[in-house]
Structures are given as structure tokens and as C-alpha cells.
Amino acid sequence: MRCKITNEKINPFMSFGRMPIANGFINEKNFKKEFFFNLEVGFSKKISLFQLNNHPKPKQMFNQNYPFFSGSSKGMIKHFKNFSKWIKKKYGKNLKNLIDIGSNDGTFLNNFKNNKINVIGFEPSKNVAQVSKKRGIKTINKFFNYQNVKKFKSLKKKIDIISAANAICHIPNLKSLIKGLDYLLKDDGLFIFEEPYLGSMYEKTSYDQIYDEHIFMFSVSSIKKIFNLFGFELINAIPQKTHGGSMRYVVSRINKRKINQNVKKIIRFEKKKNVDNFEGCIKFKKNCEKSKEKLLMKIKKLKNKNKKIVGYAATSKSTTILNYCNIGKDSIDYICDTTKEKIGKYSPGKHIPIKSMNHFYNNPPDVAFLFAWNHKKEIFKKEKKFSQKGDWIAHVKL
Ligand code: SAH
Ligand code: TMP
């Protein structure tokens, strides 16, 4: 494989095996047509970039049937409110034009309503873009890349802030993305984005962060190195609790802004913890293998005791756990979820039925496998009744 940025040759160091589209919840009639690919990861030593080898084409994943809605988690709605407040407080003084990449159903941009800030979302998945449009948010139903961006000549060098959350790691052609940023951003404009953090994935062995949509797992070291290649620099990095550990990055053109001490501090931490080098990958691989073994043992023990296990939340991440560990219907009766687009369908690859929350309340299991472990606080709060009788398990520490 080759690094998607530097083109250097790299050897994939780990395969999670034959994998379907993580968000490809499927109807029974399509089981035979299901798409699979080999989910392999590699690491660019030059720019410390953890990345997938093969992956499906973006249009296979982001289309009119994208089943993830940012608004499906109360915790994330609250987070996006705070994120928008932070932006307004820190950079609001001269903020006129803001573009959000991967704006989804508009949960983040909705917080800029009633302000004198023009906001535009770039969102390629038509169904979620439509929800955002219905909320009155200007949404361009296109992939953010240089090709598409340069058609908007009136926006050239007019944008103060380009934001994104959990979207940049979804974009394989980062060079085209950065060219697009360069086209749109004012001379002193900022690119502010949050992504799942490689350091947190290593710490928790939360390998379920690895799936087709997550082409990259970023770290402060990698973001600094990537942007330096293209005339930009990382000026701040702030850890976030969301999605099991994320990082907020602030990037500007080179020599335009003061660099916050956080950057140096976190880079030092990453060196110490081997987040910026290949040693970290090898340790992670071993930890994944151990984690898989432990999980399979746990499930086997429960099944030997005739315990009924169901999945809680049909997350995209669960596709990696179920397929990598080869866990199917014989172990997990069904997966409950709040998303109406998923209910009635089957989980990608393993074809476990997706059921409504009512089904969960009417057919409670002995044990619930918490696939949305990143929303633990919110879920435990509302599932107190189940917790009185049933047990929770997960592949990570809860
Ligand atoms: N920002 C939201 C959505 C994250 S899901 C949140 O944090 O909750 C990732 C989103 O990125 C999806 O809605 C997907 O359609 C979108 N996306 C994927 N590739 C993109 C691209 N090239 N440009 C803009 N958005 C993209
Ligand atoms: P993710 O944000 O980790 O991808 O998880 C989102 C999925 O989890 C989505 O399908 C909705 C589901 N979910 C529930 O079913 N119940 C909940 O309480 C929460 C927070 C999410």
C-alpha cells in the first residue's frame, strides 16, 4: 500500500479481515449482493499517519441512504452547542462566514441561527442534507473537495472559519480537501475540526474506531506534519471527551497566528506513548488480538450459562467488532437502536436483526452488549430499569 498523502510505500501491519460497509444496514433480499473488502491498516512513518489500505468508494458510503444522524445523541447535541459557543467566544468578533464540512443533519450549524453569521454546510449524503435544509440551513449537497469548491467563485478567500467534526477522517483525498480550504479561507482564516484521537484508541484498544469511513486515525503529530506540507500549521490542539476520546485541532496558514503551548505538550506526550511511531502500531495490534480473545471467552461463558445477549445501539463501530470477532446471531439475538432507518434491517455482514427500543423493553435480555459505549453516560441514565436486572458488557472497559 501507499501513504495517501506522501505516496511512500508502506506495509499494512494488521488486517481485521473481510469487512462489509460499516453503515450498510441491509434488507434480507440484498444479503447475496453484499459488498465486502479487506480491512487493513498501515502507518506512514514520515508523517505518523495511521490509515486504511483499501476502502470502498465514498459514494458507496455517503449517498441518499446514509443512516447516521448527528442528532441521534443528546450528548452530541449538547457538545455541538458548546463547540459553537467556544467558536463564537474565541473567534466570534470578526466572524462573518463559516462553512461546515460534513454538516450532516445540521445539528452543529443549527447553533448559529439568529446570529449574524452566514453559515453553509457541505454534505454529500442527500437524506441527511435534506433534514438540514428543512431546518433552514444553507446546505450544499456535494462532497467537499477542490473540484466542487472552486465552482463557488464568489466564496473565494471569503471564509473566516471552516469547521468539521468527525468528517475529515472520512475523506481519502486530503490533498484536494486542503486545496479547497486554501481556495476558500481568508488570509487569516482558520480550519477548526474535531476527530477521533489515535491516542485514545490505543489507550482503550477501541479498535472499533477502525472501519471503512474512518480512512485516517489522526494524532497531533500527524496533523502537524500533514498541514506543514501544504503551507498551513497547527496552532492549537484540545482533547475532547466525545466519541471515546477526540481531539480538536485549530489550523491556520503558516506564520499568521501564535502557536499554543498545547501543541508541544501533546506532541511530547505522543512521543512518550509511541503514538507518533510504528512501535505504537505493533503494541496496538497485540492488544486487539488479546481483546478479541477475551471478548469471545466472555461471550462463550455467558452462552454456556444460557444467557440471552442482545446488542445495544447498531453503531457503525459495531460492524468491526462483530465481523472481526466473528460474532453472529447464535450469540446475539438482536440489536436495538433508535434510528428508524436501521430498524427492520440487518447488521452488515453478520445479519443480526435490528429492532426498535420497544422491542428491547418488551424482550429484555440478561445481558446487553453496549456498542454505543461512547454514549455510555446518556444511555445508562435512561436505562436504569434495565440495569437493575440486566448486565452490561462491552469490548472496552465501561
Ligand atoms: N459532523 C457530523 C457528522 C459526522 S458523520 C457529526 O459529527 O455528527 C460524517 C459526515 O461526513 C457524513 O454526514 C458524511 O456524509 C460526510 N462526508 C463524507 N465525505 C465528505 C466530504 N468529502 N465532504 C463533506 N462531507 C463529507
Ligand atoms: P455513534 O454515534 O457511536 O455512531 O452511535 C450512534 C448510533 O447509536 C445510532 O444508530 C443511534 C444509536 N443510539 C441508540 O440507539 N440509543 C442511544 O441512546 C444513543 C445515544 C445512540
Which CATH number does the domain housing residue 310 bear? 3.40.50.720
Instruction: State the closest ligand 1 atom to the C-alpha of 103, by its place in the atom list counted from 1.
Output: 1
Structure-block grid coordinates of residue 63: 449517498
Nearest-ligand number for the alpha carbon of 244: 2
**C-alpha of residue 219 to centroid of ligand 2, in Å:** 25
Total domain count, the chain = 1
Residue with cell 469490548: 395
Which pLDDT does position 391 carry in this prediction?
98
**C-alpha of residue 192 to centroid of ligand 2, in Å:** 25
**C-alpha of residue 384 to centroid of ligand 1, in Å:** 33
Which pLDDT does position 116 carry in this prediction?
87
Strand order in the sheet with 14-20: 14-20, 36-44, 49-52, 216-217
- Our answer on whether the CB atom of 131 is closer than 6 Å to any ligand 1 atom is no
In a domain, 63, yes or no: no
Whether the CB-CB separation of 162 and 98 falls below 8 Å is answered with: yes
Return the residue whose CA atom lies nearest to atom 26 of ligand 1.
102
Nearest-ligand number for the alpha carbon of 213: 1
Return the residue whose CA atom lies nearest to atom 20 of ligand 2.
73
Examine the pLDDT at 114 and tell me if it is beyond 90: no
Mean pLDDT on 197-215: 98
What is the rounded CA–CA span in Å between residue 107 and residue 397? Answer: 29
What is the rounded CA–CA span in Å between residue 327 and residue 336? Answer: 16
Terminal Cα-to-Cα distance of the chain (whole angstroms): 35
Structure-block grid coordinates of residue 47: 508523517
In a domain, 8, yes or no: no
What are the tens digits of pLDDT across the range 225-234? 999 999 999 9
Nearest-ligand number for the alpha carbon of 373: 2
In a domain, 152, yes or no: no
Question: Beta 367-370 vs 309-312: how paired, if at all?
Answer: parallel
What is the rounded CA–CA span in Å between residue 204 and residue 67? Answer: 26
If pLDDT is split at 50, 70 and 90, which confidence band does 193 have? very high
What is the rounded CA–CA span in Å between residue 312 and residue 360? Answer: 9
Which pLDDT does position 115 carry in this prediction?
79
In a domain, 70, yes or no: no
Return the residue whose CA atom lies nearest to atom 3 of ligand 2.
372
Return the residue whose CA atom lies nearest to atom 13 of ligand 2.
313
Domain extent at residue 389: 306-393
Considering only CA atoms, which of 206, 214, 178, 166 is closest in space to residue 52? 214
Length reported for the chain? 398
If pLDDT is split at 50, 70 and 90, which confidence band does 143 have? very high
Mutate to test the pocket of ligand 1, among 123, 177, 315 (most ligand atoms within 8 A of CB): 123
In a domain, 230, yes or no: no
Which pLDDT does position 290 carry in this prediction?
98
Alpha helices in the chain (DSSP H): 58-61, 74-91, 126-134, 146-149, 174-184, 198-204, 220-228, 261-272, 278-304, 316-324, 357-362, 376-382, 384-389
In a domain, 14, yes or no: no
Which pLDDT does position 218 carry in this prediction?
98
Return the residue whose CA atom lies nearest to atom 18 of ligand 2.
379
What is the rounded CA–CA span in Å between residue 307 and residue 368? Answer: 10
**C-alpha of residue 68 to centroid of ligand 1, in Å:** 10
Nearest-ligand number for the alpha carbon of 357: 2
In a domain, 335, yes or no: yes
Alpha carbon 18 to chain centroid, angstroms: 20
Mean pLDDT taken over the chain: 97
Whether the CB-CB separation of 171 and 164 falls below 8 Å is answered with: no
In a domain, 323, yes or no: yes
- Our answer on whether the CB atom of 375 is closer than 6 Å to any ligand 2 atom is yes
What is the rounded CA–CA span in Å between residue 136 and residue 143? Answer: 20
